[in-house]
Structure 1
Amino acid sequence: MYRSMEYGDTARVITPADATEHRLGTVTDVTYSTPHTTHARRYTLRFPGGIERSFPADHVVRCTRADDHAALEAAFTNACVALRDACRIAHDYDPDLSVGTVSLIRRLVDLSRLRLGLTLNPSGAAGVAEAGSPNTRNQGGGER
């Protein structure tokens, strides 16, 4: 059953065009197809900072802070995996680059733990939220 969003609902733009549209917005106005229908044609969203923009109804989706948390968890996990893999490549390429990459991983792990309560484990040890597959190679390049 279709149910349009109402004033005060939170929503996100499906394909954001800029940094503002990536943020969670609040519905401040709804334009309906006809005066006697509940099918919305356009929504006006107010973003943090007071910026208001109107979008066709099919360009916006209902979204909550819980959805934001899940999206951040996935993004930070993917970033941790990418940095872990970059660190492995950097280790052979340039030791200083490897040290800098490890520093980024450490900061990402600390930030996600402090602000989201998420446990990222770049090494992939069992029992925690893993950020990718475990490292099964030893220093010499062979399997453990």
Structure 2
Amino acid sequence: MYRSLEYGDTARVTEPTDAIEYRLGTVTDVRYSTPHTTYACRYTLRFPNGTERTYPAADIRRATRDDDRAALQAALTTAAEAVRDACRIAHDYDDDLSSGTASLLRRLVDLARLRLGLTLDRADPARPLICDQDEGDQ
């Protein structure tokens, strides 16, 4: 069932072209093709920095903070895998580079744990565990 976005809903641009459009926006205006339709043709979004932009309805998708969390988990997991692989290569290449990449991996894992409650295994970050402070590791 189609349901257009309404004032105050949060949304994302489906194909962002600059840094502003990667952010979650709030719908501040909805334009309809006719006064008697429920199908929106354009939305105006306000981004966190105060910028307002208008887009065709097809270029906008509904999104929430939960969507952001899922995207962050996926991005941090991918980043941890890449840094882990770089760490293994750097170990044989250069001692200073090895310690630097190991430090970066530790920071990435700690950031994911402290800010998102996501426990990344340094040896296998592709298998994240969600950590709930009240219940411990799941």
TM beyond 0.5: yes
What secondary structure, in the 3-state scheme, does the structure 2 residue paired with 1:106 have? helix
* 1:87 is aligned to 2:82: no
One-letter identity of the residue aligned with 2:44: T
Structure 2 gaps, min length 5: 128-138
* Distance (Å, rounded) in 2 between the aligned partners of 1:87 and 1:74: 20
Equivalent in the alignment of 2:36: 36
One-letter identity of the residue aligned with 1:34: T
* Distance (Å, rounded) in 2 between the aligned partners of 1:121 and 1:80: 9
Alignment of 1:28-107 (within 5 A): 28-107=28-107
Equivalent in the alignment of 1:123: 123
Residue 22 of structure 1 deviates from its aligned partner by: 0.5
* 1:21 is aligned to 2:21: yes
Which one has the bigger strand percentage? Answer: 2
Equivalent in the alignment of 1:132: 126
Equivalent in the alignment of 1:136: none
Matched-pair identity in %: 70
* Distance (Å, rounded) in 2 between the aligned partners of 1:94 and 1:61: 46
Residue 91 of structure 1 deviates from its aligned partner by: 1.2
RMSD: 1.0
Judge conservation of contact 1:122–1:132 (CA < 8 Å) in 2. Answer: no
* Distance (Å, rounded) in 2 between the aligned partners of 1:90 and 1:13: 38
TM-score by length of 2: 0.89
TM-score by length of 1: 0.85
Count of aligned positions: 127
Judge conservation of contact 1:80–1:108 (CA < 8 Å) in 2. Answer: yes
**Over residues 65-103 of structure 1, what are the superposed CA-to-partner deviations in whole Å (9 max), with x where a residue is unaligned?**
011101100000000000001111111121211111111
When structure 1 is superposed on structure 2, of 16-25 and 90-99 the one drifting more is 90-99
* Distance (Å, rounded) in 1 between the aligned partners of 2:63 and 2:42: 16
Equivalent in the alignment of 1:112: 112
Residue 132 of structure 1 deviates from its aligned partner by: 2.7
Judge conservation of contact 1:84–1:105 (CA < 8 Å) in 2. Answer: yes
